[in-house]
């Protein structure tokens, strides 16, 4: 039938706080509105209390042949989940190229389509194909950019009035406590502490993802950075704030900031924009797809090869310029009226980057 909804088996993990968990869960909920979906995910004890009605319906849907299997995982896992029907692999990556071993997964004839969240990830895949002397068109014809997005029912502007409120920067990121971590929290802590003194009316809030940071080493990791003692207040939050409550944290701030080395999209940035915040982010990665000069400030960087992680062997990503990061924060603090106007533009622009729009784009592609 012409108007019959396509059937999609969404394969991925939703229980947790990683980017993959948030991505799979949010996209599944959006696809549920426009397609007949099953959600195949590893279940936890008592999982029934951790899901909404749509997720429960998708998880408990009967096993059968589906038109499409949408596999949200790293490419070397795709072949474990291919089934009858067409198979779509969703590839998320941050560096300037992907692991060379993934090329075989992209060329796998059982993978009919490849989704990526940004132009950045697309470029990384094509660059790797060129290095491997693979004709890029063999892979490119499979690839479609399906952006991550924001649920504007969960993230919206509702500014909380506070007397004598300081100007607040907010960062929502993972950090393992190292000096080389990809999320760049170490650069942000250093830049803020060196730029702002304790007598200035400014504050930095850092919401750390608890799945990456051991609470036992948090303070020693901060101490290892040897930050100035007379710095402006830094409030580090390590507690597990429910995803649907994060909007209240964004709404306490004036500007979102992320000194990342590389991102495939950076969900917190678009979530903050949906709450009316402009962003300051590194000018390298998938986040530049939604950043503009009217809604964001771009941190300068230089590319360096990754030395600390074998998975990224031969791959480069950005190292943000600390002095430029300081300058961008100082400009934001000194130009709060302009920051407020950029926030209005960010709120407007965020409407273009919703999970519902991503689901509609998927529907349009598979209907062809």
Mean pLDDT of the chain: 94
Q: How confident is the model at residue 337 (pLDDT cuts 50, 70, 90)?
A: very high
pTM over the 0.85 mark: yes
Q: What is the mean pLDDT of residues 48-62?
A: 97
Number of neighbouring beta carbons within 10 Å of residue 326: 17
pLDDT tens-digit readout, 80-126: 999 889 999 999 999 999 999 999 999 999 999 999 999 999 999 99
Task: Provide long-range contacts, Cβ within 8 A and 24+ apart, for 220-223.
Answer: 220/177, 221/175, 221/177, 221/178, 222/189
For position 2, what pLDDT does the model report? 57
Q: What is the mean pLDDT of residues 169-190?
A: 92
d(CA 148, CA 269): 11
d(CA 160, CA 203): 16
The alpha helices in 141-291, defined as continuous H runs, are 185-195, 215-224, 246-250, 267-274
For position 3, what pLDDT does the model report? 67
Tokens for 316, please give them. 């480069």
pLDDT tens-digit readout, 200-247: 999 999 999 888 878 888 999 999 999 999 999 999 999 888 888 999
Whether 181 and 175 have beta carbons less than 8 Å apart is answered as yes
All domains of the chain, ordered by start, with CATH?
7-149+354-367 (3.40.50.2000), 167-350 (3.40.50.2000)
Q: How confident is the model at residue 310 (pLDDT cuts 50, 70, 90)?
A: confident
Tokens for 45, please give them. 């004890």
d(CA 39, CA 55): 7
Q: How confident is the model at residue 286 (pLDDT cuts 50, 70, 90)?
A: very high
CA 271 to chain centre: 9
Burial class (CB in 10 A: 0-12, 13-18, 19+), 312: buried
pLDDT tens-digit readout, 339-366: 999 999 999 999 999 999 999 999 999 9
Q: How confident is the model at residue 368 (pLDDT cuts 50, 70, 90)?
A: confident
Q: What is the mean pLDDT of residues 185-203?
A: 97
Q: Give me the sheet containing 7-11, strands edge to edge.
A: 36-40, 7-11, 68-72, 86-90, 113-116, 143-145
Q: How confident is the model at residue 1 (pLDDT cuts 50, 70, 90)?
A: very low
More confident residue, 159 or 278: 278
d(CA 159, CA 347): 13
């Amino acid at each position: 039938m012409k108007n019959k909804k396509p059937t999609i088996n969404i394969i991925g993990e939703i229980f947790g706080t990683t980017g993959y968990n948030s991505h799979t869960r949010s996209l599944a909920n959006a696809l549920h509105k426009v397609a007949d979906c099953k959600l195949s995910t590893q279940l936890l004890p008592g999982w029934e209390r951790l899901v909404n009605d749509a997720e429960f319906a998708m998880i408990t849907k009967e096993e059968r042949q589906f038109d499409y299997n949408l596999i949200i995982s790293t490419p070397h896992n795709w072949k474990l989940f291919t089934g009858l029907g067409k198979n779509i692999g969703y590839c998320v990556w941050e560096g300037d190229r992907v692991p060379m071993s993934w090329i075989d997964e992209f060329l796998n004839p059982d993978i009919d389509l490849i989704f990526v969240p940004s132009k950045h990830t697309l470029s990384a895949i094509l660059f790797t194909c060129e290095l491997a002397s693979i004709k890029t068109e063999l892979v490119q014809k499979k690839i479609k950019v399906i952006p991550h997005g924001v649920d504007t029912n969960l993230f919206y502007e509702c500014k909380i009035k506070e007397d004598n409120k300081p100007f607040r920067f907010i960062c929502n990121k993972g950090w393992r406590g190292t000096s080389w971590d990809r999320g760049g929290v170490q650069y942000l802590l250093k830049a803020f502490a060196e730029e702002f003194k304790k007598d200035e009316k400014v504050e930095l809030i850092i919401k750390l993802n608890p799945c990456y940071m051991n609470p036992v080493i948090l303070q020693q990791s901060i101490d290892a950075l040897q930050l100035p003692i007379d710095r402006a207040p830094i409030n580090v939050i390590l507690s597990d704030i429910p995803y649907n409550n994060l909007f209240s944290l964004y709404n306490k701030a004036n500007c979102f900031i992320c000194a990342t080395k590389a991102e495939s999209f950076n969900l917190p940035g678009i979530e903050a924009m949906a709450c009316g915040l402009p962003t300051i982010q590194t000018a390298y990665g998938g986040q530049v797809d939604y950043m503009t000069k009217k809604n964001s400030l771009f941190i300068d960087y230089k590319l360096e090869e990754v030395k600390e992680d074998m998975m990224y062997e031969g791959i480069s990503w950005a190292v943000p310029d600390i002095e430029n990061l300081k300058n961008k924060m100082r400009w934001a603090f000194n130009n709060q009226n302009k920051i407020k106007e950029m926030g209005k533009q960010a709120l407007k622009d965020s409407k273009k980057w919703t999970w519902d729009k991503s689901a509609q784009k998927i529907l349009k592609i598979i209907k062809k």
